[in-house]
Amino acid sequence: MESSTSEIVIDATPLLRVYKDGRVERLMGTQIVSPGLDPKTNVESKDLVFSQETGQSVRLYIPKDVSTTQKLPLLVYFHGGAFCIETAFSPTYHNYLNSLVAEANVVAVSVDYRRAPEHPIPAAYDDSWDALKWVASHYGGNGPEEWLNRCVDFDRIYFSGDSAGANIAHHIAIKIAKEKLDGVNFAGLILLHPYFWGKEPVGDEVKDPAVRAKIEGLWRLASPTTTGCDDPWMNPIDNQSLATLGCARVLVCVAEKDMLRHRGWYYSEKLKQSGWGGEVELMEAQEEEHVFHLRKPSCESAVAKLKKVAAFMNQDKA
């Protein structure tokens, strides 16, 4: 008879496995790299705890040559990984944020949130909101971290994330419109291959019941009490008033060969129709797959995407 330590009860390969004794074995996104000065980009980083209650941290990035009087836009970034894998400290995200901060000349806060299945939804959203409140505590130069006190222009704050992180970024953007944070002027939202879904296909989205069931199963792993894929956390497009989005500009990036591509298009179209009144741009990478820019950062499409995101955050400079 198989022991409880080796019996698999949930096999979510290639992401993770859950065993009968409750152990979670993550199969990817487990590497961690230390912060510090990146010689390639000349960007410096360090880790800071934002919640004493949960012990969660952020990784803070700043261009090395920023002057003492210069105020830069701030990017608050939420990593992807289906709410279950990856961290803000993995080489994947460390390298991406170093490159983006250098290209855009911004300060960045990369949020490490608690992951499912040990910490099911809404833990990721709660942690992300707490991280934003920690960021906001630096408005006026009175926060615990000098880099944020000294270098951030709080009139130009952007939220971004990829996949599940883009989902989080959207929900934080909706929440900040309802629960204002002093000092946070939310200038724009950047959604990279957003992880949204729904019970019914949209556009030319995959209709194969087995494929759709697999995606729903992954969502249920992150949110065991969910009502399904039309849960407002997973399908905000049909369940929220997008008109309440708390910024005036949105950039949505999709990839032609990504199964989630149609949701990105759908989000953009629904946002335009919602009465929101802001400006939404959509960028599609041809012949590319989900989060290709993280796996192939030097390819032509990834470089173009990086430059687009960087330009988006600098568009409103005086």
Q: Which residues are designated catalytic?
A: 163, 258, 290
DSSP conformation letters of 49-63: E--TTT--EEEEEEE
CA distance 232 to 207: 21
The span from the CA of 297 to the CA of 295, in Å, is 6
Calculate Rg over the CA atoms of the chain: 19
Residue 312 is which amino acid? F
Our CA angle for 250, 256, 261, nearest 5°, is 50
For the four alpha carbons of 48, 164, 192 and 274, in that order, the dihedral sign comes to: negative
Which distant-in-sequence residues (6+ apart) come within 8 Å of 209 by Cβ? none
d(CA 72, CA 229): 39
270: phi then psi, degrees, rounded to nearest 5: -65, -35
Buried b (16+ CB within 10 A) or exposed e, 178-190: eeebebbebbbbb
| Cβ pair 128, 51 in contact under 8 A | no
| 1 to 5, 22, 228, 261, 297: CA distances (angstroms) | 12, 18, 34, 44, 47
Residue 144 preceded by cis peptide, ω within 30: no
The two three-digit tokens of residue 217, written as one number: 């199963």
Mutual angle of helices 300-314 and 91-104, in 10-degree steps: 50
